[in-house]
Amino acid sequence: MESFSIVSGTAAPLPAANLDTDVIMPKRYLKGVDREGLAIGVLHELRFDADGRPDPAFILNQPGWTDAAFLVVGPNFGCGSSREHAVWGLRQLGIRALIGTTYAGIFYDNCARNGLLAVTLSPEEIASLLVLVSDAARNRLTIDLPAQTLTTADGEIHFNIDANLKLRLIEDLDGVGATLKDADRIRAFEAAYHAERPWLASGRRSSY
Amino acid sequence: MRQSRTLYDKLVDDHRVRSFDAADSALLLYVDRTVLNEYTSPQAFTGLREAGRSVWRPEAALGVVDHVNPTAARRVRAMPDPGGQKQTDYFHENCRDFGIELYDILHPLQGIEHVVMTETGRVLPGMVIAAGDSHTTTYGALGALGFGIGTSDIEHYLATQTVTYSRLQTLRVEVTGALGPGVAPKDVVMALIREIGAAGATGFAIEFCGAVIEAMSVEGRMTICNMAVECGARGALVAPDDKVFAYLKDKTGLTAEAWRDAVAVWRTLRSDPDALFDRTVILDGARIEPMVTWGTSPDQALPIGAVVPDPEAEPDDAVRRDLKRALDYMGLTAGMPLEAVAIDRAFIGSCTNARIEDLREAADVLRGRRIAEGVRGMVVPGSSAVKRQAESEGLDKIFSEAGFEWRQSGCSMCLAMNDDVLAPGERCASSTNRNFEGRQGLGGRTHLMSPAMVAAAAIAGRLTDSRRLDR
C-alpha cells in the first residue's frame, strides 16, 4: 500500500448521489480470487459504451480529466454491497482520494484499509468544488494530509480526519500486524469474556 | 462510563478489548463469530497465507457457498461459470486448510449466509458478528450487533478475532400503533428508508422499538434489520424478548442450565429507560401502506397507490438530475400510476425475504391463482432448510401450480452473480433489497416490495396492491 502524504493531481466531478458499489465495480469483475485487473471494471457502464469503447460523454474520458487522481463525489458514495473490489479498482485506476460529504460505512472503512483517502467536506464546500473542478483549466488540487488541507485554484480548505486514520494513511501500517502486538491482551479479554458467558465457551460446531 | 446506556453501547462496551482514544470511540472490538462466502473471502485467505498467519478461532467461523451457485433443480458441484468455479474451489481449499466448517453447494444446510446463521442457532443475543456482506445487520433481530466488513477486515478478523471499530451514534426508530391488514415488515423498513433517505442513518446504529416491533415476528424483525443498511445504518438492533428466546430454544443445543443462565443475561440486554439516543424517528404504524420502489435507490419508494414523481417539481438541481436519471433508467414517465407499471419477471428470494414466513406470505396470495401470461416467476428459498420446510407444508406445489419456478437456495438474482439474471430492459417485481442500476442484471429494472406484493404483481402482470386480492 502506498502511503499518503502530499498529493497533487487533477480532480473530476462525479456529483450523482448514492453511487453504489454495484455501479462502481459491476459484478462481472468480482469473479477473481486476487485483486488484479480491476481498473477496467471501475464505473464500467458509465465509462464505456455497449461496444466497450470509451464513452466521450463521461467526464473521465474527456481531455483534462483522463488522468484524474481525485474524484469529487456526491453524497452517500459507495453505498450497497461490502465489496472491497470497488476500492481496489479505484486505486488501480490511479485514484488517490475522494472528496465528498458522506460515504457509506463499509466503503469508508475499505478506503482506509487501502490507502484511499476519503475527505469529508460540507455540502456547500462540495458544491463550490464541483463547479471549480468542472473547469479543465482550474481542476488541479493538492491535498496535504499531514496539514489536513486541500489547495485549489481558489484557495485553501481545511478538512477534519480521525487521528488514527490519518496516521494509518501516512504510515501505511499493517493493521493485522499492529493488532497482533496486542495478542496477549486479546487472549486475556477472550478468557474473561467466555468465563462470564459459559454458553459461548464451548465454541461448538453445529451438528444440526 | 456513562450511567445510562443504550443497548448498542452495552454491546460495544462488552466487546471492547481496548480503546485507541480518550473519547472511547475508536476501539479494538472482539467479534464472536463470522460467516464467510466465496466471493469476498479469497483475498483475505491469500493475505493470511502470504503472511504465514493462522486463523485465531476457526470454530467461530462458518463458510457458506451462496453468491455464485446456480439454483437449477439438480445440484452438482461443477459451476457453469469458470470464475465461480475458481472461487468455490479456493473456498474449499481455504476452509480445509484453516480448519473452518463449510456448507458447500451439496450440504443439506447450504443457503444464504444470513439465513443459515440464524436458523442454525449460531447467532445469539449479545453477540457481535462481523461478516463480509453488508446485510449482516440482519442479526440485530436477535439482539446481536451484526455489521458488514470488507475483505481487509475479514483478514483482520480471521487473524485476530477482532476488528478495529469506530463507535456509532444511536438512532431510535419507534414504530407506534399497529400495522393494517396486508402490511408487511418489508413495508415498515421501506417506509423508514423513504422517510430518512438512503444515507439517513449513515454513522448510526438503529434500535427499533415500539408496539409494531414488539408485535412483529422474529423473522419479520430480521427483514427490517436486514434492510437497515439501505438507509446507511451499520447495525440495527431489537432488544431480545420472549419471542427471540422461543425462536432460539431448539436451535442452540445448550444444556438446561446453560440456557437458563443465558436467558437471565439476555433479559438485561435492553436500553436503560433513561438512555439518551442521538436521534429519534417515530413512524405511525397505522399509516404505513404496502410500498414499492420506482427508482434506482432504495429510498425512491412510494405507497403502491401513488404515481411516479415528477423531477420538474424538485427544486434542487442535483436531486432533479438524479431523479431524471432514475426515471430514464427505469423507463418510466412522471405522473404514471405505479399500478400501471407492467412487469416481465417476479422474483421471491434473498436474505431479506426468502425465509419460511416470507414464502408462506407469498403462497397465501398465490393459492388457487395463476400468474399473468408472459410473466416469469421464480422462487429461490433462503436456505435448503427453508426449502425442505416449505415442501413439507406443500408451498412448493402452490408456487408451481401458480406458474412460479421452484428453485434451489442461494443469493441468486438478488445480485445476479450466478446465472439468474434479468435481460436488459426486463422489469422485475422483487422481494430483494437493492434496486441499483444493473443490480439484477445489466440494464435490468428492479422494483422492491414485500413477498406478498411480488406475488400480487405476478398475478396482475403489473405492480398492484396485494390487499385487493382476498386470501
pLDDT at A207: 35
User: Strand (E) positions, B69-112?
Assistant: 101-103
Ramachandran sector of residue A46 (left: φ over 0; alpha: ψ -120 to 50; beta: rest): alpha
| Cβ-based neighbour number of residue B92 at 10 Å | 16
Residues in chain B, how many?
A: 471
- Rounded to the nearest angstrom, the gap between the alpha carbon of residue B298 and the centroid of all alpha carbons in its chain is 13
| Res. A208 pLDDT band, cuts 50 70 90 | very low
The residue-averaged pLDDT of B103-127 equals 97
Question: DSSP state, A172?
Answer: T
d(CA A71, CA A95): 7
Contact B65, B37 (CB under 8 A): yes
% residues pLDDT > 90 (chain B): 96
Quote the radius of gyration of chain B (alpha carbons, Å).
22
Contact B160 A186 (CB under 8 A): yes
Per CB-CB distance under 8 Å, the chain A contacts of B60 are 203
pLDDT of B353 higher than 90? yes
The residue-averaged pLDDT of B246-273 equals 95
pLDDT at A41: 98
Contact A33 B42 (CB under 8 A): yes
| Res. A174 pLDDT band, cuts 50 70 90 | confident
Mutate one of A14, A103, A106, A161 to test the B interface: name it (highest B CB count within 10 A).
A106
Contact A180 B159 (CB under 8 A): yes
pLDDT of B423 higher than 80? yes
A136: closest CA of chain B, how far (Å): 21
If contacts are CB pairs under 8 Å, which of residues 351-380 in chain B contact chain A?
A: none
- Rounded to the nearest angstrom, the gap between the alpha carbon of residue B291 and the centroid of all alpha carbons in its chain is 17
Contact A76 B434 (CB under 8 A): no
Q: Give the A:B interface size as CB pairs under 8 Å.
A: 205
pLDDT of A146 higher than 50? yes
Contact B243, B210 (CB under 8 A): no
d(CA B42, CA B53): 15
d(CA B377, CA B359): 13
- Complex prediction ipTM: 0.96
Complete DSSP assignment for B282-350: EEEGGG---EEE-SSSTT-EEETTSB---GGG---HHHHHHHHHHHHHHT--TT-BGGG-B-SEEEE-T
A26 has a chain B CB within 8 A of its CB: yes
End-to-end CA distance of chain B: 53
What phi and psi values does residue B266 have, to the nearest 5 degrees? -60, -30
Contact B166 A162 (CB under 8 A): yes
Residue range B195-210, pLDDT digits in tens: 999 999 999 999 999 9
Contact B17 A105 (CB under 8 A): no
The minimal CB distance from B101 to the residues A107, A179, A205 is found for A205
* Residues whose CB falls within 8 Å of the CB of residue B299, separated by 6 or more in sequence, listed in order: A18, B193, B194, B196, B197, B198, B200, B230, B231
Per CB-CB distance under 8 Å, the chain A contacts of B254 are 199
Residue range B159-186, pLDDT digits in tens: 999 999 999 999 999 999 999 999 999 9
**Nearest C-alpha in A relative to B443:** A45
The residue-averaged pLDDT of B47-71 equals 96
B109 has a chain A CB within 8 A of its CB: yes
pLDDT at A193: 96
pLDDT at B471: 59
Average pLDDT of chain A, as a whole number: 94
A36 has a chain B CB within 8 A of its CB: no
pLDDT of A200 higher than 90? no
B60: closest CA of chain A, how far (Å): 7
d(CA A71, CA A19): 12
Residue range B2-18, pLDDT digits in tens: 589 999 999 999 999 99
pLDDT of B351 higher than 90? yes
Question: DSSP state, B214?
Answer: H
pLDDT at A3: 82
| Res. B73 pLDDT band, cuts 50 70 90 | confident
CA distances from A156 to A120, A125, A130 (A): 15, 11, 15
Contact A17 B202 (CB under 8 A): no
Task: Report the predicted TM-score, pTM, of the whole model to 2 decimal places.
Answer: 0.97
The minimal CB distance from A76 to the residues B133, B232, B415 is found for B232
The residue-averaged pLDDT of A37-65 equals 97
A152: closest CA of chain B, how far (Å): 22
d(CA B16, CA A199): 19
pLDDT at B1: 52
| Cβ-based neighbour number of residue B25 at 10 Å | 15
If contacts are CB pairs under 8 Å, which of residues 74-93 in chain A contact chain B?
A: 74-76, 79-84, 87
Mutate one of A48, A109, A128, A134 to test the B interface: name it (highest B CB count within 10 A).
A109
| Res. A202 pLDDT band, cuts 50 70 90 | low
Percent composition of chain A: helix, strand, coil (DSSP 3-state, to 5) = 40, 20, 40
Average pLDDT of chain B, as a whole number: 97
pLDDT of A14 higher than 60? yes
Question: DSSP state, B115?
Answer: H
pLDDT at A173: 79
If contacts are CB pairs under 8 Å, which of residues 58-77 in chain A contact chain B?
A: 74-76
B30 has a chain A CB within 8 A of its CB: yes
